[in-house]
């Protein structure tokens, strides 16, 4: 994992876009293969799924920020948000919306299977990604919704809730799969793989903007105001790419989110429940402790020896 992070760091600093693409492919292949070699099968499958889930949700935050803030001072009808609104106001509202998303996840998906939950939350993330397309195409102005209101409701609220709904299942799964005695190591390893997938998604976004769909690229007149490809880029990255990981949900355990999972990917909820019910019915027998047995002792009282039971 450390070598993979260092390799990606060096590739981002030293390599060109084509070299970055090659580094992404090599590092991804080595990490996924080494997971099946070094980890138990159920943990390795979840590890690969978590990595690919983050990787296919391609990160293109930089052109979106340039569009919303109009960093290149382009003419035309752009949102022209201030930094205080974009970072502070929307950030605070987004954090509150994220807490609401965590609460909603607990009530909606706590008794659902991992596979169903990931399918539903992936489509929820796709729905959240469409709000940026609406603003870039300026459709919100056609229906009379101002940019600030649309951004708060769309990117800061809906997108954040959908993101947390998609983020929570993997967090719960990672915590369930950590074996007893090595929880911190396994949790750190799986969380590191997810972070590596996020870095890979940023690299894939840079590759797309370099070779396929350039956005805010330097023009002949020296300006960087061409964002004609931004709606299509958002559609590819936010709508088309995330569902690619859905067939890989078969790698996940079959259990529900509220179930405990052993190292063989088997649900232990039923066994524990039967033991609890049997214990409540008095069907479980346990040996009485020695202190609970009736013992006889000889005690001297008033000069007489008397046998009594305790």
Which of 120-134, 166-180, 218-232, 255-269 shows the lowest per-residue confidence on average (mean pLDDT)? Answer: 255-269
Confidence of residue 235 (pLDDT cuts 50, 70, 90): very high
Please determine, for residue 240, whether its predicted confidence score (pLDDT) is greater than 80. yes
**Average pLDDT, integer, range 141-158:** 88
Confidence of residue 264 (pLDDT cuts 50, 70, 90): low
Pairwise pLDDT comparison (176 vs 130), residue with the higher score: 130
Predicted pLDDT of residue 302: 39
Give the 3-state DSSP-derived string for the chain, with helices as H, strands as E and coil as C: CHHHHHHHHHHHHHCCHHHHHHHHHHHHHHHHHHHHHHCCHHHHHHHHHHHHHHHHCCCCHHHHHHHHHCCCCCCCCCCCCCHHHHHHHHHHHHHHHHHHHHHHHHHHCCCCEHHHHHHHHHHHHHHHHHHHHHHHCCHHHHCCCCHHHHHHHHHHHHHHHHHHHHHHHHHHHHHHHCCCCCHHHHHHHHHHHHHHHHHHHHHHHHHHHHHHCCCCCCCCCCCCCCCCCHHHHHHHHHHHCHHHHHHHHHHCCCCECCCCECCCCCECHHHHHHHHHHHHCCCCCCCCCHHHCCCEEEEEECCEEEEEEC
Predicted pLDDT of residue 13: 80
Confidence of residue 298 (pLDDT cuts 50, 70, 90): very low
Query: Chain-wide mean pLDDT for the chain?
Result: 78
Pairwise pLDDT comparison (281 vs 292), residue with the higher score: 281
Predicted pLDDT of residue 234: 92
Predicted pLDDT of residue 292: 39
Please determine, for residue 310, whether its predicted confidence score (pLDDT) is greater than 60. no
For the chain, domains (ranges, CATH) are 1-250 (1.20.1250)
19-59: pLDDT as tens digits: 777 887 788 788 888 888 878 888 888 888 888 888 888 88
Please determine, for residue 275, whether its predicted confidence score (pLDDT) is greater than 60. no
Please determine, for residue 309, whether its predicted confidence score (pLDDT) is greater than 60. no
Q: What percent of the chain has pLDDT over 70?
A: 82
Contacts of residue 18, defined as CB under 8 A and 6 or more positions apart, other chains included, come to none
Which of 86-90, 149-153, 181-185, 292-296 shows the lowest per-residue confidence on average (mean pLDDT)? Answer: 292-296
- Look up tokens 């070598």; give the residue: 3
Please determine, for residue 177, whether its predicted confidence score (pLDDT) is greater than 50. yes
Please determine, for residue 143, whether its predicted confidence score (pLDDT) is greater than 70. yes
Predicted pLDDT of residue 139: 92
Give the separation between CA 176 and CA 174, rounded to whole angstroms. Answer: 5
**Average pLDDT, integer, range 95-114:** 88
Pairwise pLDDT comparison (74 vs 96), residue with the higher score: 96
Q: What percent of the chain has pLDDT over 90?
A: 5
């Amino acid at each position: 994992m450390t070598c993979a992070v260092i390799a990606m760091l060096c590739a981002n600093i030293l390599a060109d876009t084509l070299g970055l693409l090659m580094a992404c492919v090599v590092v991804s292949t080595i990490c996924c293969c080494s997971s099946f070699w070094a980890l138990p099968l159920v943990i390795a499958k979840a590890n690969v799924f978590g990595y690919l889930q983050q990787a296919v949700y391609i990160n293109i935050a930089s052109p979106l920020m340039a569009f919303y803030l109009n960093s290149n001072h382009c003419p035309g009808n752009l949102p022209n948000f201030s930094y205080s609104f974009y970072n502070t106001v929307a950030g605070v509202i987004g954090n509150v919306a994220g807490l609401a998303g965590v609460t909603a996840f607990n009530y909606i998906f706590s008794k659902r299977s991992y596979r169903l939950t990931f399918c539903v939350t992936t489509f929820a993330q796709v729905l959240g990604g469409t709000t940026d397309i609406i603003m870039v195409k300026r459709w919100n102005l056609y229906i009379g919704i101002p940019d600030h209101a649309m951004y708060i409701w769309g990117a800061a609220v809906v997108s954040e809730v959908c993101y947390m709904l998609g983020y929570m299942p993997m967090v719960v799964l990672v915590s369930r799969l950590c074996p007893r005695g090595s929880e911190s190591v396994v949790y750190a390893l799986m969380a590191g793989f997810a972070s590596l997938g996020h870095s890979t998604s940023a690299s894939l976004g840079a590759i797309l903007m370099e070779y396929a769909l350039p956005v805010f690229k330097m023009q002949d007149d020296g300006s960087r105001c061409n964002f004609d490809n931004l709606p299509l880029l958002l559609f590819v990255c936010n709508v088309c790419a995330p569902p690619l990981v859905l067939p890989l949900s078969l790698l996940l355990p079959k259990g529900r989110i509220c179930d405990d999972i052993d190292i063989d990917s088997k649900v232990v909820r039923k066994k524990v429940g039967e033991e609890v019910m049997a214990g409540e019915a008095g069907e479980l027998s346990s040996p009485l402790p020695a202190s609970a047995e009736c013992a006889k002792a000889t005690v001297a009282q008033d000069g007489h020896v008397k046998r009594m039971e305790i």
